[in-house]
Amino acid sequence: MASKAACSWLPLAVLLVAAAVAGMTPTAAAAAAAFDENYVVQWGADGRHLVDRGTEVDLAMDQSSGAGFRSKSTYGSGFFHLRMKLPSGYTAGVVTTFYLISQPENGERDEVDFEFLGDKDGKPITLQTNVFVNGRGEREQRLHLWFDPAADFHDYKILWNPYQLVMFVDDTPIRVLRNLTGAVPGYAFPARQTMLVRASIWDGSGWATDGGDTKVDWSKAPFTAGYQGFNVDACATGATPCDSPDLWWNGREYRNVTDAQRKAYEGVKKYMYYNYCNDTVRFNNSMPVECSYDL
């Protein structure tokens, strides 16, 4: 896949639409939750690779280990969000993540991924998103963001309800999947399994940069990512039925993208340099069914 140059700006029209979207998109709660209210350490619990500062956590990777954390609960719907600041400088081979994943993590799992793929100095970080349903993935989309995600914290959000899955960067939707399972046979939507929230930093030298040709340079370690925003607005397993219309993220205003969100989403597509729905060679012209449906 040929990479495009980094995008340091958005056209004024897209910026104006994104500003309008901000007024109609759910945002993280104002009162900051402490990390241990909703999350626990998954790995790297040695005081060096995961540093808990209360309302901020640093994940670090060196040659001995990476680190990760997960939510205490599994969820059946909700609005999930983390603020992230990615490792800077030479980060080839470094993968930094925020994702939802069902349990057990086997060949029938559901998964919704934000994966940030590092690169060499002067090359932009790639944001890869992917969605697995019943163990089937191969739905990658890759783009270069219109800002440097290593320069400051930004919001990364997943709205997941019985009607749609929307992934946001700040208040701009970058991926939308409608739930058309009742109308379209074979439509792939994660609606059957509850999911954990997870985040991690790890060595993806085998694939993340230049198809695996460019590896992690351990002389540049440690690579450190910051996380904030540990509130979780979601339906925990065993709570109110997670498809209840009384849950705010299942409300009528969150069952479709708005016109402003649709325009912002279309504007972001020009920064996407790989979309599985355009890869006819990969799928031998038998494209996944969702690629035939607009929002």
3-class secondary structure per residue, 181-244: CCCCCCCCCCCCCCEEEEEEEEECCCCCCHHHCCCCCHHHCCEEEEEECCCCEEEECCCCCCCC
What local confidence, expressed as pLDDT, does residue 30 receive?
A: 52
Residue 94 resides in a domain: yes
Residue 133 resides in a domain: yes
Residue 32 resides in a domain: no
pLDDT of 117 > 80? The answer is: yes
- Whether the Cβ atoms of residue 250 and residue 162 lie closer than 8 Å to each other: yes
Q: Dump pLDDT digits (tens) for 238-249.
A: 877 999 999 999
Residue 33 resides in a domain: no
Please indicate whether residue 138 is annotated as part of the active site. no
Neighbours of 103 (CB within 10 A): 14
Q: How sure is the predictor about 25, in pLDDT bands with cuts at 50, 70 and 90?
A: low
Q: What span, in angstroms and rounded, lies between the C-alpha atoms of 72 and 101?
A: 13
User: What is the count of structural domains for the chain?
Assistant: 1
Which member of 37, 111, 140, 290 is catalytic?
111
Mean of the per-residue pLDDT values of the chain: 90
Please indicate whether residue 253 is annotated as part of the active site. no
Q: Dump pLDDT digits (tens) for 58-78.
A: 999 999 999 999 999 999 999
Residue 155 resides in a domain: yes
- Whether the Cβ atoms of residue 44 and residue 59 lie closer than 8 Å to each other: yes
What local confidence, expressed as pLDDT, does residue 121 receive?
A: 94
Which member of 37, 105, 115, 138 is catalytic?
115
Residue 21 resides in a domain: no
- Whether the Cβ atoms of residue 57 and residue 35 lie closer than 8 Å to each other: yes
Rounded average pLDDT over 85-106 = 97
Residue 209 resides in a domain: yes
- DSSP category for residue 123: S
**Which CATH number goes with the domain that contains 209?**
2.60.120.200
Q: How sure is the predictor about 3, in pLDDT bands with cuts at 50, 70 and 90?
A: very low
pLDDT of 4 > 50? The answer is: no
Q: What span, in angstroms and rounded, lies between the C-alpha atoms of 103 and 197?
A: 11
**Domain residue limits at 93:** 38-292
What local confidence, expressed as pLDDT, does residue 18 receive?
A: 47
What local confidence, expressed as pLDDT, does residue 294 receive?
A: 74
**pTM of the predicted structure, to 2 decimals:** 0.91
What local confidence, expressed as pLDDT, does residue 185 receive?
A: 84
Residue 84 resides in a domain: yes
